[in-house]
Amino acid sequence: MLSTRSFAFCSVAALLLSSHVLASADEDAVRARAVAEKYGRAVITVEIVLEESYDYGGGGEKRESKMTASAVFVDPSGLAVASLSSIDPTSTRNQISYEGGTKASSKIVEAKLRAEDGTEIPADVVLRDRDLDLAVLRPKSSPATPLPFVSMSQPNPDVKMFDELVTLRRLGRVAGRTLGGCGDMVKAVATKPRLFYVVYGSCGLGLPAFTLDGKVAGISVLRTYGKMDMDDASWFSNEMAYVVLPPETVRKIIDQAKKTGKTTATPVAKPAVKPSAKPK
């Protein structure tokens, strides 16, 4: 049995430990809010009208649907990056092993970027990369002024297993398209076939991710391997993962997109984002 002195010591130690944990959590929250304040205006909504076609072997079907997803401006010209699977589900469905060999295809009929202030910007999808699960959209006309953006023209940050990343997204109409934030722990750092950070993925896809000290960690996407086997329960845990692609990988895709026609980029020295919030 613990003596009165031992019990008192243990109680004080537990109190000090809990106080340290609470102080650390509060400090992380302050740093995360500073990230949201600095980059939040660059996080946008993508609205897509999608025409989907399905070939069942003995017949077919077409239907039109609307998709809404989060994305981020990555250039002051309004060039934006989203997760391909979040704006075009057929990019994933084509990899599903269906009985009878059903095939799916899609055509984006209309695309709009909705900026932080609610401005609607008609756009084109100028690049799709199914392997990386990335889509790049470009405004149909140049913006009147440079737009706020998250620059991918920087080195990959030093992200390690168990690090916490901050992701930002636009919530739906029910929340007035307000900026939302989420924390996601890094489960693993993969280096093959390329560098990416495996995360739990509960925050969503196509979201810009940041370290707590404000460095750009990349874009969240869905990574799959091989054909999805709907009869193999282990496939979903072993061959599918939510990952964050680091900025150097995303930048290569952005550079490719800029070569797919005339770019509307307006040169500026620094990203047009708000300065970091100062902790009170």
Confidence of residue 97 (pLDDT cuts 50, 70, 90): very low
Distance CA 277, CA 280 (A): 9
Confidence of residue 4 (pLDDT cuts 50, 70, 90): low
List the chain domain ranges: 39-258
The model's pLDDT over 99-119, given as tens digits with 9 standing for 90+, comes to: 555 676 778 899 999 999 999
Collapsing DSSP to helix, strand or coil, 272 comes out as coil
> pLDDT at residue 266 above 50?
no
Average pLDDT in the chain: 82
Give the up-direction half-sphere exposure of residue 41: CA atoms within 13 A in the CB hemisphere. Answer: 15
> pLDDT at residue 153 above 80?
yes
- Residue that is written with structure tokens 């999608």 in the block: 50
Sequence letter at residue 61? E
State whether CATH 2.40.10.120 applies to domain 39-258: yes
Confidence of residue 227 (pLDDT cuts 50, 70, 90): low
Distance CA 80, CA 43 (A): 9
Confidence of residue 277 (pLDDT cuts 50, 70, 90): very low
Confidence of residue 262 (pLDDT cuts 50, 70, 90): very low
Q: In this prediction, what percent of the chain has a pLDDT beyond 70?
A: 74
Its pTM surpasses 0.85: no
The pLDDT assigned to 269 comes to 33
* Residues contacting residue 60 through CB under 8 Å, at least 6 positions apart: 53, 54
The pLDDT assigned to 279 comes to 40
What are φ and ψ of residue 53, in 5° steps?
Answer: -125, 135
Contact 98, 167 (CB under 8 A): no
> pLDDT at residue 235 above 50?
no
